[in-house]
Amino acid sequence: MNVSDKIATGAAGVGLFSWLTAKLHSRLVDEVYNEYAKVYVPPDIVSIVIPAFNEEENVEDTLKSILSQNIILKHSDYFECIVVDNESTDHTAEIARQYCQVISAPRGKLNAKHKGIKHAVGNIIVSCDADTYYPPNWLNLILRHFHDPEVVGVHGPLLYKEASLPLRLAAIWNANLSPHVQRVFSGGNSAFRKSAYLEVGGFNLTIDQSNRTQVAYEEEISFGYRLSQVGKVVFEVRAPVFTSMRYMGSGALIETERQLTQYQEERKRGERF
């Protein structure tokens, strides 16, 4: 059973709601898992940037899923992958070096992303998170939109690896139908032209980067809005990724309460973003 099947588990049954949920779920995942889909030639050189802080438990699986993208396997000369180690105190950097280049940046997620973007040779930046699974046709679906020269950014939905059933269902419906969710330019599932990033002034690095709310607002709301002022921003509903829910508020999870508590304690001690 893959990640998408787990998300759909529990939605089966009788009635219109179950039927609609299955249809919406199918719309989200059918193409993204198709590793044999038609692969487009990348529109430009692409740099994948992954900020990481104390992610030794997740970064290897994330990198394996990224480097197994069908478009990378077919057109590897177009791609580079950069992990930006954000002063990790565990083995994140050592693990990541087995798969791609690793650079360092001062603490703060936006500091790390900015350092990776400035270091990147690609003209298209793909923004990923170190605790996220990327299905094999995901990047192919995202990058195809950049063949349109007016497109400056593309983003897709976030689904969750270990959510309770109500949140699984809410994520499926919101990704398909919520205008608010579709406007969130996810830091773990997005791509943009480097030239557009520079044109809008990049990220605001002066915010309090120890404050997750401020970082999320700048990374996923303010930056996405600024991009939309210089070109087209596309929401690709058929390219979801599957991320951790450790940063969600208490009470949001059932299956991962222990992990959530540990994560929040690490945040208080300054051991995580």
Question: Using one digit for the tens of pLDDT, what is the confidence trace for 170-222?
Answer: 999 999 999 999 999 999 999 999 999 999 999 999 999 999 999 999 999 99
* Predicted TM-score (pTM) of this structure: 0.86
**For the segment 5-31, what is each residue's pLDDT rounded down to a tens digit?**
544 444 445 588 899 999 999 999 999
The token duo for 64 is: 């394996």
261 falls in which pLDDT band (50, 70, 90)? low
pLDDT of res. 70: 98
- Phi–psi pair at 129, nearest 5 degrees: -110, 155
Assess contact for 207 and 218: CB atoms under 8 A: yes
| pLDDT > 90 fraction of the chain, expressed in percent and rounded | 79
For residue 47 the two structure tokens come to 């740099």
How many CB atoms are located within 10 Å of the residue 13 CB?
10
The pair of structure tokens assigned to 210 is 């120890």
Q: In the prediction, which pLDDT does 262 show?
A: 57
Sole residue written with tokens 């994948």: 48
Unique residue bearing structure tokens 């508020």: 249
Q: Which domains does the chain have, with CATH numbers?
A: 3-268 (3.90.550.10)
* Mutual angle of helices 165-177 and 16-29, in 10-degree steps: 70
Kindly report, residue by residue over 225-244, the tens digit of the pLDDT. Answer: 999 999 999 999 999 999 98
Classify residue 76 by its DSSP letter.
G
Task: Give start and end residues of each alpha helix (H) in 200-247.
Answer: 212-217, 223-228
Cα 264 to Cα 110, 167, 212, 223: the distances in Å are 20, 19, 11, 26
Return phi, psi of residue 35, to 5°: -65, -15
Give me the chain's average pLDDT, please: 89
Q: What is the pLDDT of residue 244?
A: 85
pLDDT-derived band at 253, boundaries 50, 70, 90: very low
- Position with higher pLDDT, 46 vs 266: 46
